[in-house]
């Protein structure tokens, strides 16, 4: 079997982003070979297909090209529920300051944010990632793979840069490996 066709079959069958590592393990070949084939396959689709290969939420996934969105919207009639401004604010605070507690979110927003956090938990855009070692051990919240998928991000480093005039104290608690997006 040709490797590129096997990869195409796996990508077609998958309904979630698949990492090159997972593909390599499934096929039983080196990861660099898979990455090379993925690159070639993506390039081939660019010219010859209504589909495209995108890097999203830490993996590769097939999707339709944007130029077909109108007709697909008519056909599938997706019910897009937009996030309200308040919920987006909560999401932004979680995304840029994760892991973060509800109290810290409220400190930034200055208003009760319980509803916003629950709405985001319901939509699987944020999740509890642990508890803070402070009195009361409050829950810490962070973003999910679903968040990356909904905002077409490959990982958190692709978040739009937060332009800060205040600086050093922002990002307390953010793991160092995710720190690249913190400060421009």
Is 19 a residue that touches other proteins (CB under 8 A)?
no
Min dist CB 87 to other proteins, Å, is 10
Min dist CB 129 to other proteins, Å, is 18
Min dist CB 180 to other proteins, Å, is 15
Count of chain residues binding other proteins (CB under 8 A): 56
Min dist CB 95 to other proteins, Å, is 8
Q: Binding mask 27-66 vs other proteins (x if CB under 8 A, - otherwise)?
A: ---------------------------x------xxxx-x
Is 80 a residue that touches other proteins (CB under 8 A)?
yes
As beta bridge partners, residue 42 has: none
Is 76 a residue that touches other proteins (CB under 8 A)?
yes
């Amino acid at each position: 079997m040709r490797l590129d066709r096997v990869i195409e079959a796996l990508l077609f069958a998958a309904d979630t982003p698949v990492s090159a590592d997972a593909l390599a393990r499934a096929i039983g070949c080196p990861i660099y070979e898979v990455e090379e084939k993925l690159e070639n396959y993506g390039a081939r689709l660019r010219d010859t297909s209504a589909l495209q290969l995108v890097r999203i939420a830490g993996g590769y996934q097939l999707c339709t090209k944007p130029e077909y969105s109108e007709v697909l919207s008519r056909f599938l009639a997706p019910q897009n529920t937009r996030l309200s401004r308040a919920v987006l604010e909560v999401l932004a605070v979680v995304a840029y300051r994760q892991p973060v507690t509800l109290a810290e979110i409220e400190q930034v927003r200055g208003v009760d944010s319980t509803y916003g956090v629950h709405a985001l938990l319901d939509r699987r855009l944020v999740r509890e990632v642990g508890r803070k070692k402070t009195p009361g051990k409050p829950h810490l919240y962070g973003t999910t793979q679903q968040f990356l998928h909904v905002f077409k991000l490959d990982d958190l480093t692709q978040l739009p840069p937060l332009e800060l005039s205040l600086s050093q104290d922002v990002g307390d608690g953010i793991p160092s490996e995710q720190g690249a997006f913190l400060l421009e």
